[in-house]
Structure 1
Amino acid sequence: MSANPTLIQRIMNGSLILQIVVGIIAGICLATFAPASVPSISFLGGFFVSALKAVAPILVFILVASSIANQKKGVQTNVKPVLNLYLIGTLLASISAVLFSYFFPTSLTLVTSNITVTPPEGIVEVLNTLLFKVVDNPVNALVTANFIGILAWAVGLGLALQHANESTKNMLHDLAEAISKIVHLVIRFAPIGIFGLVASTVASTGLSSLLSYSHLLIVLLGSMLFIALVVNPLIVYVKLKTNPYPLVFKCLKESGVTAFFTRSSAANIPVNMELCKKLDLHEDTYSVSIPLGATINMAGASITITVLTLAAVHTLGIEFDILTAILLSVVAAISACGTSGVAGGSLLLIPLACSLFGIPNEVAMQVVAIGFIIGVVQDSAETALNSSTDVIFTAAACRAEEVKAFLTK
């Protein structure tokens, strides 16, 4: 093997964030100084969106099925209080995102020509459509990108395979790893796709379209800050009846900052384990809850799914009631649990939430592409929130159990 990597190897191993930034800048420059050449490269954006459309359905199906099938038996009994906090926190995060999206609506630049959007009339129609999508033929669900049906079959298959042989579970796990590598390969082409998307968008609508992305990013970051500095402390206070902010700030400083730059909850597990040790938490609890939290505690992901979906809903002028918004929150919270381990995983689940509002896959994938554009900051903030919350909730549950044990003596 050559000691000097080739140009392609250096690009593939380079910083994806830096490459996306270069792609955005290059797209703006091309559209500004050489607009006549934009039509010749605009296909790059469409090609990237098509690749995302191709990989997203199978990713959701395999990843969710593998996650459920390989769930260790007895984990819930060891860390049940932590799991409860994980689920409550993720659900409250998506509900908060609904509120932020309602009070600070965002409009996006989407190509909707020749696309028919049939919004639901209310929660009854949503539930009716949801039920029929759940019982869709699994092959048809994959072919037509029926994400509700895909999710239902993945959950059902995962639960059934919990009783399978370990070799079968390992095979499913290996298949999930293989699909993740394919997704990783597709995402490595994000800078090229975003270059084409930005150039095409700026050439047709001007720089004003990019300003809507800044508004979207502000809503996302505002929602995440609200969870980190208001909702999480409130949960800790209810659990411990003491000032939560010393614990919250310590976790944000020692876990959140590191996760912000690594952009990987899995890579931040050793940091969180060491922090739990510093906090003198029960090792039998945090040795399970921290790795598990990196998989299912996805408050940041649920915010991303909810905010981007409702931005598309607002852009298309779709009316929705509060019950539909709550249903979206539940779907976002559940689906967010399966996004770990895959770069941009939360973005690839946006079509699932969009399907609740009758938004076709072609439009949903444009929203996913916009997510990659703002992902330069969004993904880092999302990971920081997810990872720091793992320690916050583990510490709250452990200390609450200690107090409970002391009072029962």
Structure 2
Amino acid sequence: MNKSKKKIGLFTKIMIGFSLGIIAGLILKEKASMFAFLGTILTNMLKMVVAPLVFCVIVVAIANMGDGKKLGRISVKTVSIFLVTTLLAILVGLVIANLMNIGSGVTIELPSETTTASADASITDTIVNIVPDNIFKALSNSELLQIIFFALLLGFAIIKMGDKGQKLFDFFKLGQEVITELTSIVLEFTPIGVFGLMANVVGNIGLEILIPYAKAIIALYIACILYLVLVQAGVVTGVFGGISPIKFLKEMKEPMAFVFATCSSVANIPVNLRAAKRLGIDDDTANFVIPLGAVVNMNGTAIYQAVAVIFTAQIFGIDLTFTDQVMVMITATLAAIGTAGIPGSGLVMLTIVLSAAKLPMEGLALLAGIDRILNMGRVVPNIVGDVATAVIVAKSEKTLKTDRTETV
């Protein structure tokens, strides 16, 4: 009898927790902070599994390919798609933000001395920090770019070892299976953690916080939705991937709900992998593209950078020329690629873009109060872009099985 009952899916559970959290926040106001610890527990649990999961998945994905030419081919395709789609995302964000004049109506006088930052130094630091000086330190601090860099090299080394590297390969493959199972256990706590997160945010900020920033928030969500539906589902997966946009969006509803609630692209990796495999993407491609994309492919964050720049410029009464906005596109692409998929990191990376556009750093303070709300919207295109990229790569490698119907 129990088997005949329909099991409530993760998507439904997350939305229930999300809705109850909002209700609790509106009723209890500041007292809803008592539930904040639930969100902290969820965040800590997710961080606990992310580093070992990414490490094992990347090593196994590289070593399992075996064919160096194939790996190089997939790497070039993946990075190229990431760059092109990120530039498109920034363009969409700039167009929507300019059309809506999101910072108009209120002009804030600039202080006599404004905070500045060095974009060149930040970009250089990002590049240098990709190479770890201590992999164990990188693992303990969840420095994901460093972990991926080392995992890529280790995977190559296992390939070069040939049969001698089989035992090490088997070790990481077993590690991947164990960490994946552990992640599934952690995911069961997600609805409870989401309840705590939303109750705390709504209780302390309140829905009225949306009013001063309404146009900026609406612009971001419109840009993200248009980009997701038209570019990612329509063009990338529909035109180039050969998969129905409706089917693609249907399979992505659970990952989108999960990342919308948790605001963590990296923590979404296991859910994204399941969706990718349901779409018929082969394991080798999915296990390589999606973990890599969770760190370096930030389409939604790129949209956010564009919207935030226009918002900051207009609210401070600064005119941005066409050349200035081109610079924003270039810099935001670099910033998005260097942004780790964890909550709040986009706000930090915005310093690079604001500095490149010679805008006051005070814009950060204005956006910090609603960063969580903006983050919830921008992370969705982040994770959808990873799967969309994997579709194209698998299609080009002739490994995409569009008739696959099994569940993972």
Scaled by the length of structure 1, the TM-score of the pair is 0.60
Distance in 1 between the 2:110 and 2:324 partners? Answer: 26
1:170 lines up with 2:136 in the alignment: yes
Distance in 2 between the 1:358 and 1:261 partners? Answer: 33
Report 1:150-161 matches (<5 A): 150-158=121-129, 161=131
Report 1:302-381 matches (<5 A): 302-361=302-361, 363-372=362-371, 375-376=372-373, 378-381=374-377
Corresponding residue SS for 1:255: helix
Structure 1 residues 337, 251: CA separation in 2 closer, same or farther (over 3 Å shift)?
Answer: farther
Task: Tell me the alpha carbon deviations over residues 118-172 of structure 1, each in whole angstroms, 9 at most, x when there is no partner.
Answer: xxxxxxxxxxxxxxxxxxxxxxxxxx7624133233145236x46x6xxx24335
Structure 1 residues 113, 83: CA separation in 2 closer, same or farther (over 3 Å shift)?
Answer: closer
Corresponding residue SS for 2:309: helix
1:114 alignment partner AA: P
CA contact (8 A) 1:308 1:367 kept: no
Structure 1 residues 158, 77: CA separation in 2 closer, same or farther (over 3 Å shift)?
Answer: farther
Distance in 2 between the 1:296 and 1:24 partners? Answer: 39
Structure 1 residues 26, 394: CA separation in 2 closer, same or farther (over 3 Å shift)?
Answer: same
Distance in 2 between the 1:210 and 1:110 partners? Answer: 18
Distance in 1 between the 2:128 and 2:311 partners? Answer: 32
Which residue is equivalent to 1:33? none
Structure 1 residues 402, 356: CA separation in 2 closer, same or farther (over 3 Å shift)?
Answer: same
The structural deviation recorded for 1:227 is: 0.6
Task: Tell me the alpha carbon deviations over residues 5-60 of structure 1, each in whole angstroms, 9 at most, x when there is no partner.
Answer: xxxxxxxxx99x959x9599969xxxxxxxxxxxxxxxxxxxxxxxxxxxxxxxxx
Structure 1 residues 287, 172: CA separation in 2 closer, same or farther (over 3 Å shift)?
Answer: closer
Report 1:55-70 matches (<5 A): none
Corresponding residue SS for 2:213: helix
Task: Tell me the alpha carbon deviations over residues 280-339 of structure 1, each in whole angstroms, 9 at most, x when there is no partner.
Answer: 322111111111111111111111121012101011121122222122012112212232
1:293 alignment partner AA: G
Structure 1 residues 389, 157: CA separation in 2 closer, same or farther (over 3 Å shift)?
Answer: closer
The structural deviation recorded for 1:82 is: 2.6
Distance in 1 between the 2:270 and 2:214 partners? Answer: 33
Distance in 1 between the 2:238 and 2:262 partners? Answer: 29
1:298 alignment partner AA: M
Report 1:388-403 matches (<5 A): 388-402=384-398
Structure 1 residues 152, 79: CA separation in 2 closer, same or farther (over 3 Å shift)?
Answer: closer
* Percent of aligned positions that are identical: 20
Corresponding residue SS for 1:402: coil
Distance in 2 between the 1:221 and 1:156 partners? Answer: 30
Report 1:116-131 matches (<5 A): 116=113
Task: Tell me the alpha carbon deviations over residues 50-105 of structure 1, each in whole angstroms, 9 at most, x when there is no partner.
Answer: xxxxxxxxxxxxxxxxx9xxx98976544432332222111110111011111111
Which residue is equivalent to 1:281? 281
CA contact (8 A) 1:93 1:227 kept: yes
Which residue is equivalent to 1:35? none
Which residue is equivalent to 1:115? 112
The structural deviation recorded for 1:275 is: 1.9
Task: Tell me the alpha carbon deviations over residues 186-221 of structure 1, each in whole angstroms, 9 at most, x when there is no partner.
Answer: xx9xx79x96xx79xxxxxxx7x8523111111000
Corresponding residue SS for 1:212: coil
The structural deviation recorded for 1:358 is: 2.4
Report 1:290-309 matches (<5 A): 290-309=290-309
Report 1:47-62 matches (<5 A): none
Distance in 2 between the 1:284 and 1:311 partners? Answer: 41
Q: Which runs of 5+ in 2 are unaligned?
A: 1-16, 31-53, 63-67, 145-196, 401-408
1:220 alignment partner AA: L
The structural deviation recorded for 1:263 is: 2.6
Distance in 1 between the 2:107 and 2:296 partners? Answer: 31
Q: 1:87 aligns with which of 83, 87, 90?
A: 83
Distance in 1 between the 2:26 and 2:331 partners? Answer: 33
1:383 alignment partner AA: V
Distance in 2 between the 1:276 and 1:172 partners? Answer: 28
Corresponding residue SS for 1:287: helix
2:395 alignment partner AA: R
Report 1:79-228 matches (<5 A): 79-107=75-103, 112=109, 114-116=111-113, 146-158=117-129, 161=131, 168-172=134-138, 174-175=140-141, 210-228=210-228
Distance in 1 between the 2:217 and 2:302 partners? Answer: 15
Please provide the CA RMSD for this pair. 4.0
Corresponding residue SS for 2:212: helix
1:82 alignment partner AA: T
Corresponding residue SS for 1:89: helix
Corresponding residue SS for 1:256: helix
1:83 alignment partner AA: V
Structure 1 residues 86, 360: CA separation in 2 closer, same or farther (over 3 Å shift)?
Answer: same
Distance in 2 between the 1:96 and 1:323 partners? Answer: 17
